[in-house]
Structure 1
Amino acid sequence: MALPLIVECGDGAAQATDLCSWLHDGRLAGVQKVSQQEEPAKSGEQGPLLLPLLTVILASPAVVAVVKSVHRYIQARTPQTTITLKQGSKSLTIVCVNPPPIAELVEQAKTLFEE
Protein backbone atom coordinates (compact mmCIF):
# COMPACT_ATOMS: atom_id res chain seq x y z
CA MET A 1 0.00 0.00 0.00
CA ALA A 2 1.04 3.61 -0.48
CA LEU A 3 1.16 5.98 2.51
CA PRO A 4 1.54 9.71 1.73
CA LEU A 5 3.55 11.85 4.18
CA ILE A 6 3.10 15.61 3.89
CA VAL A 7 5.88 17.80 5.32
CA GLU A 8 4.82 21.29 6.39
CA CYS A 9 7.42 23.88 7.38
CA GLY A 10 9.32 26.84 5.95
CA ASP A 11 11.26 24.74 3.45
CA GLY A 12 9.05 21.67 3.22
CA ALA A 13 10.70 20.26 0.10
CA ALA A 14 14.17 20.28 1.71
CA GLN A 15 12.81 18.74 4.91
CA ALA A 16 10.99 16.10 2.84
CA THR A 17 14.27 15.25 1.11
CA ASP A 18 15.95 14.91 4.51
CA LEU A 19 13.11 12.76 5.90
CA CYS A 20 13.19 10.58 2.77
CA SER A 21 16.89 9.89 3.39
CA TRP A 22 16.21 9.29 7.10
CA LEU A 23 13.53 6.68 6.35
CA HIS A 24 15.60 5.06 3.61
CA ASP A 25 18.69 4.85 5.83
CA GLY A 26 16.56 3.37 8.64
CA ARG A 27 15.88 0.26 6.51
CA LEU A 28 12.55 -0.32 8.26
CA ALA A 29 11.13 -3.83 8.01
CA GLY A 30 8.09 -3.93 5.73
CA VAL A 31 8.93 -0.67 3.97
CA GLN A 32 9.56 -1.38 0.31
CA LYS A 33 10.19 2.11 -1.07
CA VAL A 34 10.32 5.76 0.02
CA SER A 35 10.17 8.42 -2.68
CA GLN A 36 9.75 12.16 -2.86
CA GLN A 37 7.09 13.41 -5.24
CA GLU A 38 8.05 15.94 -7.87
CA GLU A 39 6.39 18.23 -10.34
CA PRO A 40 7.70 17.77 -13.89
CA ALA A 41 9.92 20.50 -15.30
CA LYS A 42 8.13 23.18 -17.24
CA SER A 43 9.39 24.66 -20.47
CA GLY A 44 12.61 26.59 -19.83
CA GLU A 45 13.27 25.05 -16.39
CA GLN A 46 16.37 23.02 -15.54
CA GLY A 47 14.64 20.09 -13.87
CA PRO A 48 11.66 18.90 -11.86
CA LEU A 49 10.42 20.73 -8.76
CA LEU A 50 10.64 18.63 -5.58
CA LEU A 51 7.44 18.70 -3.53
CA PRO A 52 7.06 18.47 0.29
CA LEU A 53 5.35 15.09 -0.17
CA LEU A 54 6.74 11.60 0.31
CA THR A 55 5.14 8.33 -0.70
CA VAL A 56 6.03 5.28 1.37
CA ILE A 57 5.23 1.88 -0.15
CA LEU A 58 4.82 -0.56 2.73
CA ALA A 59 2.93 -3.42 4.31
CA SER A 60 0.24 -2.34 6.81
CA PRO A 61 2.16 -3.56 9.92
CA ALA A 62 5.10 -1.32 8.94
CA VAL A 63 3.05 1.84 9.61
CA VAL A 64 3.96 1.61 13.31
CA ALA A 65 7.67 1.45 12.42
CA VAL A 66 7.29 4.48 10.13
CA VAL A 67 5.48 6.47 12.86
CA LYS A 68 8.21 5.61 15.38
CA SER A 69 10.92 6.63 12.91
CA VAL A 70 9.14 9.92 12.07
CA HIS A 71 8.80 10.59 15.82
CA ARG A 72 12.58 10.13 16.26
CA TYR A 73 13.19 12.34 13.22
CA ILE A 74 10.97 15.09 14.69
CA GLN A 75 12.75 14.88 18.06
CA ALA A 76 16.13 15.27 16.34
CA ARG A 77 15.11 18.43 14.46
CA THR A 78 14.95 21.99 15.75
CA PRO A 79 12.99 23.82 13.02
CA GLN A 80 9.23 23.72 13.39
CA THR A 81 8.02 20.89 11.20
CA THR A 82 4.66 19.20 10.87
CA ILE A 83 4.33 15.81 9.19
CA THR A 84 0.94 14.37 8.25
CA LEU A 85 0.35 10.72 7.34
CA LYS A 86 -2.81 10.08 5.31
CA GLN A 87 -4.82 6.96 4.63
CA GLY A 88 -8.06 7.66 2.77
CA SER A 89 -10.09 10.19 4.76
CA LYS A 90 -8.10 9.56 7.98
CA SER A 91 -4.87 11.31 8.93
CA LEU A 92 -2.28 11.52 11.71
CA THR A 93 -0.39 14.78 12.24
CA ILE A 94 2.87 14.95 14.18
CA VAL A 95 4.05 18.43 15.20
CA CYS A 96 7.71 19.08 16.05
CA VAL A 97 6.90 21.34 19.00
CA ASN A 98 6.05 19.07 21.94
CA PRO A 99 5.16 15.90 19.99
CA PRO A 100 2.93 13.47 21.90
CA PRO A 101 4.46 10.35 23.47
CA ILE A 102 5.32 7.59 21.01
CA ALA A 103 2.77 5.18 22.57
CA GLU A 104 -0.02 7.67 21.81
CA LEU A 105 1.17 8.10 18.21
CA VAL A 106 1.34 4.33 17.70
CA GLU A 107 -2.26 3.95 18.87
CA GLN A 108 -3.37 6.77 16.56
CA ALA A 109 -1.46 5.18 13.65
CA LYS A 110 -3.28 1.90 14.18
CA THR A 111 -6.61 3.68 13.71
CA LEU A 112 -5.57 4.76 10.22
CA PHE A 113 -6.35 1.24 9.01
CA GLU A 114 -9.39 0.37 11.07
CA GLU A 115 -12.71 0.41 9.29
Structure 2
Amino acid sequence: MNVADLSRRGFAGRTGAAPGGRRHLYATPERRSRGMRTSHRLLLRFYHDPGYDFSRIEVEYADRGAPGDRSTVRGDRVVALDAQYLEVDAGTHVACIPYHRVRRILYDGDVIWARKA
Protein backbone atom coordinates (compact mmCIF):
# COMPACT_ATOMS: atom_id res chain seq x y z
CA MET A 1 0.00 0.00 0.00
CA ASN A 2 1.38 3.41 -0.90
CA VAL A 3 0.68 6.99 0.15
CA ALA A 4 -1.90 7.50 -2.61
CA ASP A 5 -3.93 4.52 -1.32
CA LEU A 6 -3.80 5.91 2.20
CA SER A 7 -4.88 9.31 0.94
CA ARG A 8 -7.91 7.77 -0.73
CA ARG A 9 -8.77 5.99 2.53
CA GLY A 10 -8.76 9.29 4.39
CA PHE A 11 -5.35 9.51 6.07
CA ALA A 12 -3.63 12.44 4.36
CA GLY A 13 -4.62 16.01 5.16
CA ARG A 14 -8.03 15.29 6.62
CA THR A 15 -10.28 18.27 7.20
CA GLY A 16 -13.32 16.49 8.60
CA ALA A 17 -14.36 14.67 5.43
CA ALA A 18 -14.84 10.95 5.58
CA PRO A 19 -13.62 8.66 2.79
CA GLY A 20 -15.86 9.16 -0.21
CA GLY A 21 -16.36 12.85 0.55
CA ARG A 22 -19.01 12.41 3.27
CA ARG A 23 -18.87 14.72 6.27
CA HIS A 24 -18.82 13.25 9.75
CA LEU A 25 -21.75 14.23 11.94
CA TYR A 26 -19.30 15.64 14.50
CA ALA A 27 -17.40 17.71 11.93
CA THR A 28 -18.30 21.15 13.22
CA PRO A 29 -16.51 24.18 11.69
CA GLU A 30 -14.20 24.28 14.71
CA ARG A 31 -13.13 20.68 14.16
CA ARG A 32 -12.70 21.09 10.40
CA SER A 33 -10.33 24.01 10.87
CA ARG A 34 -7.79 21.88 12.74
CA GLY A 35 -6.31 20.39 9.57
CA MET A 36 -4.33 17.18 9.71
CA ARG A 37 -5.05 14.67 12.47
CA THR A 38 -2.75 14.22 15.44
CA SER A 39 -0.21 11.43 15.75
CA HIS A 40 -2.27 9.88 18.55
CA ARG A 41 -5.49 9.76 16.49
CA LEU A 42 -3.63 8.37 13.48
CA LEU A 43 -2.00 5.61 15.55
CA LEU A 44 -5.38 4.73 17.06
CA ARG A 45 -6.85 4.48 13.57
CA PHE A 46 -4.12 2.10 12.38
CA TYR A 47 -4.35 0.09 15.61
CA HIS A 48 -8.12 -0.47 15.42
CA ASP A 49 -8.68 -0.59 11.64
CA PRO A 50 -8.70 -4.26 10.54
CA GLY A 51 -7.60 -3.18 7.05
CA TYR A 52 -4.10 -2.37 8.31
CA ASP A 53 -1.37 -4.40 9.96
CA PHE A 54 -0.14 -2.37 12.94
CA SER A 55 3.17 -4.27 12.98
CA ARG A 56 4.07 -2.51 9.69
CA ILE A 57 3.98 0.90 11.41
CA GLU A 58 7.21 2.63 12.41
CA VAL A 59 7.19 5.52 14.86
CA GLU A 60 10.22 7.83 14.84
CA TYR A 61 10.58 9.94 17.97
CA ALA A 62 12.98 12.37 19.64
CA ASP A 63 15.31 10.47 21.97
CA ARG A 64 18.02 12.51 23.65
CA GLY A 65 21.31 10.64 23.71
CA ALA A 66 20.45 8.32 20.80
CA PRO A 67 22.41 8.69 17.53
CA GLY A 68 21.05 11.81 15.85
CA ASP A 69 18.71 12.27 18.85
CA ARG A 70 16.15 10.03 17.08
CA SER A 71 14.93 6.49 17.69
CA THR A 72 12.44 4.29 15.87
CA VAL A 73 10.04 1.68 17.19
CA ARG A 74 8.00 -0.79 15.12
CA GLY A 75 4.30 -1.29 15.73
CA ASP A 76 4.70 -4.83 17.07
CA ARG A 77 6.70 -3.39 20.03
CA VAL A 78 3.92 -0.96 21.01
CA VAL A 79 2.17 -2.32 24.09
CA ALA A 80 -0.54 0.34 24.51
CA LEU A 81 -1.70 3.71 23.17
CA ASP A 82 -2.49 5.81 26.22
CA ALA A 83 -4.08 9.29 26.07
CA GLN A 84 -0.76 11.09 26.69
CA TYR A 85 1.90 8.60 25.56
CA LEU A 86 2.52 5.29 23.84
CA GLU A 87 3.89 2.39 25.84
CA VAL A 88 6.72 0.48 24.17
CA ASP A 89 8.31 -2.83 25.10
CA ALA A 90 11.95 -1.89 25.69
CA GLY A 91 13.12 -5.42 26.47
CA THR A 92 13.64 -5.17 30.23
CA HIS A 93 10.84 -2.67 30.92
CA VAL A 94 7.99 -0.75 29.33
CA ALA A 95 9.01 2.72 28.15
CA CYS A 96 6.52 5.58 27.88
CA ILE A 97 6.97 7.92 24.91
CA PRO A 98 4.90 11.12 25.03
CA TYR A 99 3.17 11.99 21.76
CA HIS A 100 4.87 15.40 21.62
CA ARG A 101 8.15 13.54 20.96
CA VAL A 102 6.81 11.68 17.92
CA ARG A 103 8.40 13.15 14.78
CA ARG A 104 7.23 10.83 11.97
CA ILE A 105 4.95 7.86 11.41
CA LEU A 106 5.71 5.48 8.56
CA TYR A 107 3.68 2.64 7.07
CA ASP A 108 5.69 0.20 4.93
CA GLY A 109 8.47 2.78 4.74
CA ASP A 110 6.21 5.57 3.39
CA VAL A 111 5.85 8.69 5.54
CA ILE A 112 2.19 8.97 6.56
CA TRP A 113 2.54 11.73 9.15
CA ALA A 114 5.34 14.15 9.99
CA ARG A 115 5.51 16.87 12.60
CA LYS A 116 5.86 20.37 11.24
CA ALA A 117 9.36 21.75 11.77
TM-score if structure 1 supplies the norm length? 0.36
Q: Which has the higher contact order (CA 8 A, sep 6+)?
A: 1
- Which protein has the bigger helix share? 1
- The structure that has the greater radius of gyration is 2
TM-score if structure 2 supplies the norm length? 0.35
